[in-house]
């Protein structure tokens, strides 16, 4: 078994901050202590670096078919990009076909990932249809390690479930220990508004956010929170973009409900004002829920600091802009004449940790503990991976990042690893970045060089939630 000693680092977890050495044996953390000095295959000097648990991006969409196209990163390119930015675990989504079983969906998504992913991955299940005969599948999936179920109040034509079905699934999850994730936007109101714009000839990308106002997100969030309360199950609202939706989560938490919220770098860093002119370049920023006004950013940052929101994930779902990339089709171009046809999604899996570090620790004075909590530990706990992931502890997987606070990194599409020829954060310079990334005991990135191997990521059977 290979052994590595990481010496002289400053170990930071969600709760601790101290100087110590870590002995890695095989794929696990074997020992943590002061002044360890044993014979190992490699010694890594971490002087002046933070040694933190690898990041967990609990919301990605690799190789996701949307209409006639698929997200441009697959499980190989997407996980290489993730690792470059310090993320060593992703949780992606298997989507049940409307006329299919959930197990068939899981098999299909595992086939996309196996042999490709370079870091470990878990799967959530997107439920799109739930006749009573499929309810036992939910119980089986929880036993088999798919412990979270995502449902939609948006996209009436493809994904939306009626409130009764959402409630039925919530109740079942409450009984079998599953965890419920909700895409909360009022899909039928949005569809009405969007069509009204299109009918009036207002078809440019800036009408995408205008057709999805704050109230449509907050209304759906409030509704699913109340349904989850009635069903007796925790609920996790994915990609909270609006301060109004966040306030619904905060109010529920103040009432003592197990309500949780995730936001994403695009809602913390990007602003509607930057593409309000209607130019087609705005298609790069079309995602759902949409990018909001700049004034909406600060309430979300504050909510992360005060635990009104718990996680930052990316909803990574890249589509190529019109330049195309290495023979990939011009995917966003599909909506040139109608914003409703622009594939929804932005890239981000590579830059999540960069952007939260810069915005949180550097610009807003967060502790490194809070940084680790929102980028890793909270997701590990909520999605049943703790303390295997999200921790630096004896017996934990050796998913370890040496974060150098004095290693500036400028985000550029020309040098990023994501398979998409633009970056929404083009030109942003962050003060600190990962120097070395270890995934289950193997160094897979060092000095921006990929040293890993396709297929070495393993599928994670997850446990049930805790917090």
What are the tokens at 31? 């020992």
Q: What's the closest the beta carbon of residue 87 comes to Zn ion, in angstroms?
A: 16
Tokens in use for 248?
A: 């619904």
Q: Give the shortest CB-276-to-Zn ion separation in angstroms.
A: 24
Beta bridge partners of 124: 93
In whole angstroms, how close is the CB of 241 to Zn ion at the nearest point? 12
Name the one range near Zn ion by CB under 5 A: 43-51, 170-178, 312-320, 390-398.
312-320
Nearest-approach distance from CB 61 to Zn ion, in angstroms: 6
What's the min distance (Å) between Cβ of 430 and Zn ion? 24
Alpha-carbon distances of 41 from 3, 18, 64, 178, 448, rounded to whole Å: 5, 25, 40, 42, 22
Cβ nearer to Zn ion, comparing 76 with 315: 315
Closest residue by beta carbon to Zn ion: 315
Nearer to Zn ion, 49 or 183 (CB): 183
Question: What is the DSSP secondary structure assignment for residue 318, as one 8-state letter?
Answer: -
Of 21, 315, 350, 399, the one binding Zn ion (CB under 5 A) is 315
d(CA 292, CA 246): 13
Total length of the chain = 467
Compare residues 184 and 225 and give the one whose CB is closer to Zn ion.
184
- For residue 365, the minimal CB distance to Zn ion (Å) is 30
Nearer to Zn ion, 185 or 404 (CB): 185
- Judged by CB, which is closer to Zn ion: 32, or 312? 312
Choice between 219 and 315, CB closer to Zn ion: 315
| Per-residue x/- track, 235-274, Zn ion (CB under 5 A) | ----------------------------------------
Give the Cα separation of 103 and 93 in Å (integer): 13
Instruction: Tell me how far apart the alpha carbons of residues 413 and 394 are, in angstroms, rounded to a whole number.
Output: 38
Give residue for tokens 């109740």.
171
Q: Which stretch binds Zn ion (CB under 5 A): 263-271, 310-318, 378-386, 431-439?
A: 310-318
Q: Give the shortest CB-442-to-Zn ion separation in angstroms.
A: 29
Distance CA 187, CA 353 (A): 31
Provide the minimum distance between the beta carbon of 286 and Zn ion in the complex, in angstroms, as a whole number.
14
Q: Which is nearer to Zn ion, 147 or 171 (CB)?
A: 147
Cis before 78? omega within 30: no
Is the Cβ of residue 234 or residue 289 nearer to Zn ion in the bound state? Answer: 289
Q: Given the rule CB under 5 A, which of 109-117, 173-181, 309-317, 417-425 is the region that contacts Zn ion?
A: 309-317
Instruction: Examine residue 445 and say whether the peptide bond preceding it is cis (omega within 30 degrees of 0).
Output: no
| Closest distance of CB 217 from Zn ion, Å | 14
Backbone angles phi, psi at 167, to 5 degrees: -65, -40
Looking at 125-133, 289-297, 315-323, 359-367, which segment touches Zn ion (CB under 5 A)? Answer: 315-323
Shortest reach from residue 263's CB to Zn ion, in Å: 13
Tell me how far, at minimum, the Cβ of 392 lies from Zn ion, in Å.
Answer: 29
Cα–Cα distance measured from residue 359 to residue 430, given in angstroms and rounded to the nearest whole number: 9
Nearest to Zn ion of 315, 333 (CB atom): 315
Q: Applying CB under 5 A, what is the total number of residues that bind Zn ion?
A: 1
Nearer to Zn ion, 120 or 315 (CB): 315
> H or E stretch including 84?
helix 75-84
Query: Contact region for Zn ion (CB under 5 A) — 40-48, 170-178, 314-322, 418-426?
Result: 314-322
3-state secondary structure of 225: helix
User: Cα(291)–Cα(263) distance, rounded to whole angstroms?
Assistant: 12
User: Residue 57 or 315: which CB sits closer to Zn ion?
Assistant: 315
Binding flag, residue 92, Zn ion (CB under 5 A):
no
Q: How far is the CB of 3 from Zn ion (least distance, A)?
A: 39
CB-nearer residue toward Zn ion: 142 or 238: 238
Contact (CB, 8 A) for 10 and 400: no
Based on C-alpha coordinates, what's the Rg of the chain?
A: 21
Binding site for Zn ion (CB under 5 A): 315
């Amino acid at each position: 078994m290979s052994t590595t000693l990481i010496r002289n680092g400053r170990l930071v977890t969600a709760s601790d901050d101290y100087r110590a050495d870590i002995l890695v044996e095989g794929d696990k953390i074997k020992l943590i202590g002061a002044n360890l000095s044993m014979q190992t295959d490699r010694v890594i000097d971490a002087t002046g670096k933070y040694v933190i648990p690898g990041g967990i991006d609990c919301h990605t969409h690799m190789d996701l078919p949307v209409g006639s196209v698929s997200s441009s990163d697959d499980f190989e390119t997407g996980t290489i990009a993730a690792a470059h930015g310090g993320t060593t675990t992703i949780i992606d989504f298997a989507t049940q076909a409307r006329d299919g079983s959930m197990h068939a969906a899981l098999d299909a998504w595992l086939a996309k990932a196996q042999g490709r992913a370079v870091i470990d991955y878990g799967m959530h299940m997107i439920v799109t249809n739930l006749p009573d005969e499929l309810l036992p599948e939910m119980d089986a999936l929880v036993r088999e390690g798919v412990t979270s179920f995502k449902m939609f109040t948006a996209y009436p034509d493809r994904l939306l479930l009626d409130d009764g079905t959402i409630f039925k699934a919530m109740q079942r999850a409450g009984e079998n220990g599953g965890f419920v994730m909700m895409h909360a936007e009022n899909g039928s109101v949005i569809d009405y508004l969007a069509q009204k714009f299109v009918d009036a000839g207002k078809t440019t990308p800036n009408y995408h956010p205008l057709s999805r106002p704050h109230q449509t997100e907050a209304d759906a969030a409030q509704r699913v929170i109340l349904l989850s309360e009635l069903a007796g199950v925790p609920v996790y609202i994915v990609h909270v973009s609006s301060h109004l939706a966040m306030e619904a989560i905060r109010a529920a938490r103040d009432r003592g409900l197990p309500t949780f919220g995730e936001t994403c770098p695009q809602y913390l860093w990007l602003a509607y004002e930057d593409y309000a002119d209607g130019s087609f370049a705005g298609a790069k920023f079309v995602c759902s829920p949409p990018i909001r006004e700049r004034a909406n950013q600060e309430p979300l940052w504050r909510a992360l600091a005060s635990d009104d929101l718990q996680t930052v994930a990316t909803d990574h779902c890249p589509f190529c802009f019109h330049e195309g990339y290495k023979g990939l089709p011009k995917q966003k171009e599909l909506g040139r004449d109608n914003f409703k046809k622009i594939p929804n999604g932005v890239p981000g899996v590579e830059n999540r940790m960069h952007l939260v570090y810069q915005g949180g620790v550097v610009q807003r004075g967060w502790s490194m503990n809070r940084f680790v909590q929102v980028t890793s530990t909270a997701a590990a706990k909520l999605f049943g991976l703790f303390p295997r992931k999200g921790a630096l502890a004896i017996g934990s997987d050796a998913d370890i990042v040496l974060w150098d606070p004095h290693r500036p990194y400028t985000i550029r599409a020309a040098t990023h690893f994501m398979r998409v020829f633009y970056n929404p954060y083009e030109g942003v310079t962050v003060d600190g970045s990962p120097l070395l990334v270890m995934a289950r005991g193997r160094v897979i990135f060092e000095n921006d060089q990929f040293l890993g191997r396709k297929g070495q990521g393993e599928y994670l059977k997850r446990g049930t939630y805790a917090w």
